[in-house]
Amino acid sequence: MDTQIGFPPLTLAVFAGMAIGAMLLDMLTHRGDRPVSLGKAALWSVFWIALSLAFAGFLHVEHGAEVASLFITGYALEKVLSVDNLFVFMAIFAWFKVPDGLRHRVLYWGILGAIVFRGVFVAIGTGLLALGPWVEVVFALIVAWTAVMMLRASGDQEAEEDYSAHMAYRFAARLFPVWPKLYGNQFFVTRKTLEAEILKPEHAGMSLAAKGTIFATPLFLCLVVAEVSDVLFAFDSVPAVIAVSREPLIVYSAMLFAILGLRTLYFVLEALKRYLVHLEKAVIALLFFIAVKLGLSATDHLFGHGYKIAANASLLVVMGVLVIGVIASLVFPGKAPAPQDPPLNETQ
């Protein structure tokens, strides 16, 4: 007996079991405040990829090669598109001057939020497709617009965004009074604690807001900015993955398994970003490809022209463009960016 979303209870049970087990493993193994080395991050990245391929293997056995191909395509696409989002996270961490040892704490909570919001967006997005092919046209325009905006911004790498003007920063600062320095790994600190802090010589001249018993630290503001940035990114990535399959389980499982590996992938990319200078161009190319795929699907439903891009062809394009982006970065390295991100002084 199949479920309402088109898969039998066994498939849902296997997905739920693997997803919950993976999230618990991630929570239990990355709780410290120590920097994550490149070697450790690379090993964990390989593990998350292997776990995703194991689920793809299960889909292949239970539902055939096409379903497994759809999952792998969606997974690879979400992974590649997430690269640009991780580069944004690097800029956010640099602006807030978050030390290396605290970055994975922000990523930890940010990824939990991403898992929840992706589920909401996938449910809404796949539900909207039932309204007709014009929804696909809208999705195609969203993805194409994102590609154009990335293409226009790609030549302006030197400008640093002022995140104090970000809507999430301003909203959080209105909810809580802000202590301007990091306080260990804490997102919040009490007034009683800070009343003792301002008596220290290094805080001479500092004062506390007149109201409020709980103060937000820069780490909390960083988390809020990163979370809202990811939600905005989801408006682009969810339609792109929905272009691969309309089946909610395929879309969400592909996105979830890709997201689970993002925290360790961040530290791999942070170490290698100066060598992957053309990867963003690959992301832009893929977005244009997805816009075309959505457009063809929509116009085929409207006019019956019969032109579509098959699942296997989509997989080959996604993987091929990713490989080309990596090879181009190695062959034409360009000008490497200068190291930055000096740590912010912390109070104890």
Q: Above 80 in pLDDT, residue 348?
A: no
User: What is the pLDDT, as a whole number, of residue 3?
Assistant: 37
pLDDT band at 14 (very low <50, low <70, confident <90, very high): very high
Supply the range of the domain harboring residue 76: 9-154+230-347
pLDDT band at 46 (very low <50, low <70, confident <90, very high): very high
Nearest-angstrom CA–CA distance, 231 and 121: 9
Q: Which two tokens stand for residue 347?
A: 């109070």
**Does 66 fall in a domain?**
yes
**Does 197 fall in a domain?**
no
**Does 333 fall in a domain?**
yes
Nearest-angstrom CA–CA distance, 166 and 262: 23
Q: Above 70 in pLDDT, residue 346?
A: no
Domain total in the chain: 1
**Does 182 fall in a domain?**
no
**Does 21 fall in a domain?**
yes
List, in sequence order, every beta strand (DSSP E) within 151-269.
Answer: 182-183, 188-190, 214-216
pLDDT digits over 49-69, tens only? 999 999 999 999 999 998 999
End-to-end CA distance of the chain: 58
**Does 207 fall in a domain?**
no
pLDDT digits over 177-229, tens only? 888 888 888 899 998 888 887 878 776 667 777 677 889 999 999 999 999 88
**Does 112 fall in a domain?**
yes
Nearest-angstrom CA–CA distance, 278 and 215: 41
**Does 296 fall in a domain?**
yes
Q: Above 70 in pLDDT, residue 32?
A: no
